[in-house]
């Protein structure tokens, strides 16, 4: 707890067995009230290890995607009455030691969202970030800053902290279940006027650290650009998009309602495909 506010750290995990223990060891337990790990259908021993480390564990019955994992992380943290939620990848790429200053910036009223930036401090390449990822990061950030009217150093970090109100009020259920969720939630926070701060965060790139491949990186990059264009078009009133609507769907209060929604969507897609086949 910090300044009377309950802090929960959430770990969106998928096959994180090799790096989980190192990550958890650096989480400052003196101010953290609870550590919640959501496993997205791992095939290794992530779940059993997490339980041995005395973490609160929530498991998906199958691999639903990184974005869906985060939705579960935030929903479960809110249900446990968190005032501040800190999300960090359990792959030991980011330093959990920075949780204290990040949470403090929110607990003492300076910001609503705090991002751990790999770009501030010029440590990204020194930490092993591949050159193509660094260039892509800088390009996408440059374009996004123009389109959304900000001066952030990056939008793509996997280390961030949120005030409870942000997670409660943003229409997060409208967001992707894939990696672009990371970008959408930041753009939503900007769109709805929340204060965003950054802190320099050294990173570590090594074989066990999770990373998406080149093909998925390209898909993510295109999704990032699409999100920024939607932001601008919605802002100036040319087109409207659900992810930027105040009445958009917020986090489902229950995991199983979300599963039911997913199955209904799959059924509708199947029916639509059958109709299209019938027309041929």
Record the tokens describing residue 200, joined without a space.
């320099």
pLDDT above 80 for 264: no
Give yes or no for residue 56 having a pLDDT over 90: yes
Q: How far is CA 141 from the centre of its chain?
A: 17
Tokens at 202, concatenated: 């050294």
> What is the pLDDT at residue 243?
97
Return the H-helix or E-strand segment holding 228.
Answer: helix 214-235
Instruction: Tell whether the model's pLDDT for residue 261 goes beyond 80.
Output: no
- Residue 278 confidence class, pLDDT cut points 50, 70, 90: low
Q: What is the mean pLDDT of the chain?
A: 92
- pLDDT confidence bin for 215, thresholds 50/70/90: confident
- How do residues 140-182 score in pLDDT, each as one tens digit? 999 999 999 999 999 999 999 999 999 999 999 999 999 999 9
CATH of 7-249, one of 3.90.550.10, 3.40.50.300, 3.40.50.2300, 3.40.630.40: 3.90.550.10
Contacts of 108 (CB under 8 A, 6+ apart): 3
Q: What's the mean pLDDT in 170-199?
A: 97
- pLDDT, tens digit, for every residue of 114-125? 999 999 988 788
- The answer to whether residue 112 scores a pLDDT higher than 90 is yes
**Structure confidence at residue 68 as a pLDDT band (50, 70, 90):** very high
pLDDT at 69 exceeding the cut of 70: yes
Instruction: State the pLDDT at residue 171.
Output: 97
* Stronger pLDDT, 214 or 2, i.e. the higher one: 2
What residue spans define the domains of the chain? 7-249, 253-280
Residues 21 and 44 sit within 8 Å (Cβ to Cβ): no
pLDDT recorded at residue 271 = 75
Over residues 84-110, mean pLDDT: 97
Q: pLDDT, tens digit, for every residue of 239-248?
A: 999 999 999 9
pLDDT at 265 over 80: no
With a cut of 80, say whether residue 21 has pLDDT above it: yes
pLDDT over threshold 70, residue 65: yes
Question: Can you say whether the dihedral through the CA atoms of 68, 71, 76, 77 is positive or negative?
Answer: positive
Q: What is the pLDDT of residue 279?
A: 65
What band does 137 get if pLDDT is binned at 50, 70 and 90? very high
Q: What b-and-e string marks burial along 248-272, b requiring 16 or more CB atoms within 10 Å of the CB?
A: bebbbeebeebbeeeeeeeeeeeee
Query: What does residue 205 show for φ and ψ, rounded to 5 degrees?
Result: -110, 125
Residue 97 has pLDDT above 80, yes or no: yes
CA 278, distance to chain mean position in Å, is 40
Q: Please give the Cα distance from 53 to 44 (Å, whole number).
A: 16
Q: In what order do the strands lie in the sheet with 196-200?
A: 56-59, 34-39, 7-13, 84-88, 159-163, 113-117, 196-200
Residue 107 has pLDDT above 90, yes or no: yes
For residue 146, with 0-12 CB atoms within 10 Å meaning exposed, 13-18 middle and 19 or more buried, which class applies? exposed
pLDDT over 90 at 255, yes or no: no
Q: Can you give the pLDDT at residue 50?
A: 98
Distances (CA, A) of 266 to 7, 161, 179, 271: 36, 33, 20, 9
Residue 31 has pLDDT above 90, yes or no: yes
Q: What is the pLDDT of residue 205?
A: 84
201 within 8 A of 118, measured Cβ to Cβ: yes
260 pLDDT band, cuts 50/70/90, is low
CA distance 154 to 78: 26
């Amino acid at each position: 707890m910090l300044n009377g506010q309950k802090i929960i750290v959430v770990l969106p995990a998928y096959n994180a067995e090799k790096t989980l223990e190192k990550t958890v060891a650096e989480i400052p337990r003196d101010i953290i009230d609870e550590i919640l790990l959501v496993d997205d259908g791992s095939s290794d021993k992530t779940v059993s290890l997490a339980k041995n480390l005395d973490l609160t564990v929530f498991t998906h019955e199958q691999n639903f995607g990184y974005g869906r994992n985060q939705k579960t992380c935030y929903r479960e943290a809110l249900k446990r009455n968190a005032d501040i939620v800190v999300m960090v990848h359990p792959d030991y790429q980011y330093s959990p030691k920075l949780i204290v200053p990040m949470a403090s910036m929110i607990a003492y009223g300076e910001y609503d969202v705090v991002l751990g930036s790999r770009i501030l401090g010029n440590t990204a390449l020194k930490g092993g970030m591949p050159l193509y990822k660094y260039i892509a990061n800088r390009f996408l950030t440059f374009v996004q800053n123009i389109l959304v009217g900000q001066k952030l150093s990056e939008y793509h970090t996997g280390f961030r902290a949120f005030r409870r109100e942000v997670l409660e009020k943003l229409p997060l259920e409208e967001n992707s279940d894939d990696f672009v969720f990371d970008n959408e939630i930041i753009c939503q926070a900007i769109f709805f006027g929340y204060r965003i701060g950054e802190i320099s965060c050294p990173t570590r790139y090594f074989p066990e650290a999770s990373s998406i491949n080149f093909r998925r990186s390209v898909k993510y990059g295109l999704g990032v650009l699409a999100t920024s264009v939607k932001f601008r078009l919605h802002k100036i009133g040319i087109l409207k998009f659900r992810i930027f609507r105040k009445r958009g769907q917020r986090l489902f209060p229950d995991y199983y309602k979300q599963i039911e929604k997913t199955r209904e969507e799959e059924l509708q897609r199947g029916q639509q495909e059958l109709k299209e086949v019938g027309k041929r």
